[in-house]
């Protein structure tokens, strides 16, 4: 039986430093995290809040294999923990991941709110950058929301979806062939509307391709796997569900691109929510197993209208498969009403519009955009970027391998509106926005109200000095002689409806915990 599809996005940002001062990407990322943490009152004297790594198992695979230490608790000291982590009043986490600043959104129920929280992350990182008064005067720092550096490296935009435990176990552990029949084909082909586009090839993909739909596709090396920095998988199988494992599991996807277009981000999350609910309800789609899935994802990225071979010998385009997924989703909508996916009708409408627009799209053999009657470029990143790059390339009479095109590709993702090409196009009215500015601003400061993010965010807002440990599934409060722990094992509990009155009555964490205990026993 299907359950609500709680979603979270983990976005790694590229950080580029110009200057002669020797400032490293790691140091700059830490400075950014702490600059923003100070702004929201999380670095005042006496604060001992740190991120709790004790519940993380980065070396444990869901299929029962252990590849190293059992937890990440011993990895860093408390001082280092505070240096790289900030848990925010909006329920999100801002931290340094290797050489990147990373923003993990709070848990969201709707695709629209997920996009708003993702966009809020851009503003939070920009504000942290502005506040970095420790930066040497001769250094210039820029942030990019993308997935490649055009030097063979890739970094992630990871998606997390709440799944019912039995179905997750069935699809990824007991009978992974089921995932190969439905989920994997959907994820491989959805890039035709989720991809952000890239100039040229790098990594393991088709080197001669002048332009690709997806930035991540050619870096996918296995279907299921534990790693995120090498041997990257379409579905990550790390044993970290951040919820009650008996009831819930986390589907962790690492193949997706970092969207700038709100429409593309909305459709990426929303269509995936619907397909996952269909899978949980046993609403059989069809067997679309690819003959070679890892080759298929690269084929589609190299040419969105290419014919890809299925395991049974049939050939199909990504468009044809996505059209079939959409048809089945519409049938499912009529039968089941899709109660656990907010905005389902809007998602289906956007899905249909995207496929219709792509069917009308005409590309020449050398990737010139010859016809876009529905102006799908206003909504999909890879089409908008292709249009932009072709206009520049033809105006300057440049070949596809000219380095200026890669610079243009990168600048499309600069999140500073003064420098970023996407936001310049947005200001010119060349993109279709879905969100009001007030939605993004609210997500900068406030957590979603209908998931456990509300409880976490309110605690950090009201009692930051009393919090000892925090992570996605637990909070621990310093009560003097003892630490009091509050489990948050159900992502659907801890909402405003449940706890608004409790927070209004609580002057400190002692009163909060007393009221919670009284309500649970009464």
205 Cβ neighbours under 8 A, 6+ residues apart? 212, 217, 218, 219, 298, 301, 302
How far apart, in whole angstroms, are the C-alpha atoms of residue 2 and residue 164? 7
Cβ atoms of 395 and 412 closer than 8 Å: no
312 Cβ neighbours under 8 A, 6+ residues apart? 287, 289
- The single residue of 27, 52, 61, 97 carrying the catalytic annotation is 97
Cβ atoms of 211 and 408 closer than 8 Å: no
Burial class of residue 514, CB neighbours in 10 A (0-12, 13-18, 19+): middle
How far apart, in whole angstroms, are the C-alpha atoms of residue 151 and residue 420? 20
How many other CB atoms sit within 10 Å of the CB of residue 283? 16
171-176 long-range contacts, CB within 8 A, separation 24+: 171/279, 172/62, 172/63, 172/224, 172/235, 172/237, 173/62, 173/63, 176/223, 176/224
Residue from 128, 152, 199 nearest 400 by CA: 199
How far apart, in whole angstroms, are the C-alpha atoms of residue 256 and residue 249? 20
SS (H, E, C) 208-244: CCCEECCCCHHHCCEEEECCCCCCCEEEECECCCCCC
For residue 158, give the H/E element and its range: strand 157-164
Residue 97 is a catalytic residue: yes
Q: Which residues are catalytic?
A: 97
């Amino acid at each position: 039986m299907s359950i609500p599809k709680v979603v979270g996005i983990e976005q790694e940002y590229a950080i580029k430093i110009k200057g002669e001062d020797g400032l490293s990407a790691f140091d700059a990322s830490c400075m950014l995290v702490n600059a923003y943490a100070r702004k929201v009152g999380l670095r005042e004297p006496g604060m001992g809040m740190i991120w709790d790594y004790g519940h993380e198992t980065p070396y444990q695979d869901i299929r029962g294999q252990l590849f190293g230490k059992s937890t990440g608790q011993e990895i860093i000291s408390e001082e280092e923990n505070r240096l790289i982590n900030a848990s925010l009043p909006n329920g999100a986490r801002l931290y340094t991941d290797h050489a990147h600043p990373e923003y993990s959104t709070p848990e969201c129920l709707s695709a629209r709110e997920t996009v708003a929280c993702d966009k809020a992350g851009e503003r939070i990182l920009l504000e942290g950058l502005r506040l970095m008064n420790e930066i040497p005067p001769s250094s210039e720092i820029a942030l990019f929301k993308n997935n490649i550096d055009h030097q063979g490296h890739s970094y992630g935009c990871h998606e997390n979806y709440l799944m019912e435990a039995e179905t997750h176990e069935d699809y990824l552990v007991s009978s992974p062939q089921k995932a190969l029949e439905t989920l994997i084909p959907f994820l491989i082909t959805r890039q035709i509307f989720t991809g952000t586009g890239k100039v040229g090839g790098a990594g393991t993909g088709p080197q001669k391709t002048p332009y690709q739909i997806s930035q991540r596709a050619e870096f996918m090396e296995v279907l299921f796997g534990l790693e995120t920095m090498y041997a990257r998988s379409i579905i990550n199988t790390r044993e970290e569900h951040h919820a009650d494992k008996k009831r819930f599991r986390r589907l962790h996807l690492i193949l997706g691109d970092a969207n700038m277009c709100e429409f593309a981000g909305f459709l990426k999350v929303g269509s995936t929510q619907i397909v996952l609910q269909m899978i949980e309800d046993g609403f059989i789609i069809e067997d679309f197993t690819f003959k070679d899935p890892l080759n298929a994802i690269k084929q589609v990225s190299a040419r969105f209208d290419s014919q890809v071979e299925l395991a049974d010998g049939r050939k199909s385009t990504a468009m044809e498969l996505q059209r079939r997924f959409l048809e089945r989703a519409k049938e499912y909508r009529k039968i089941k009403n899709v109660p656990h996916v907010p905005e389902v009708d809007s998602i289906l409408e956007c899905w249909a519009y995207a496929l219709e627009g792509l069917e009308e799209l005409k590309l020449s053999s050398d990737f010139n955009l010859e016809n876009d009657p529905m102006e799908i470029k206003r909504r999909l990143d890879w089409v908008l970027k292709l249009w932009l790059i072709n206009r520049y390339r033809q105006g300057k009479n440049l070949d596809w391998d000219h380095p200026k095109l890669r610079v243009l590709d990168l600048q499309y993702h600069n999140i500073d509106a003064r420098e970023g090409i996407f936001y310049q196009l947005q200001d010119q009215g060349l993109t279709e926005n879905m969100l009001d500015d007030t939605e993004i601003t609210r997500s900068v400061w406030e957590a979603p109200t209908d998931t456990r993010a509300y409880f976490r965010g309110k605690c950090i807002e009201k009692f930051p000095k009393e919090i000892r440990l925090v992570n996605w599934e637990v909070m621990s409060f310093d009560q003097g002689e003892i630490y009091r722990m509050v489990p948050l094992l159900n992502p659907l509990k801890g909402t405003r409806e449940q706890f608004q009155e409790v927070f209004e009555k609580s002057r400190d964490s002692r009163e909060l915990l007393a009221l919670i205990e009284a309500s649970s026993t009464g």
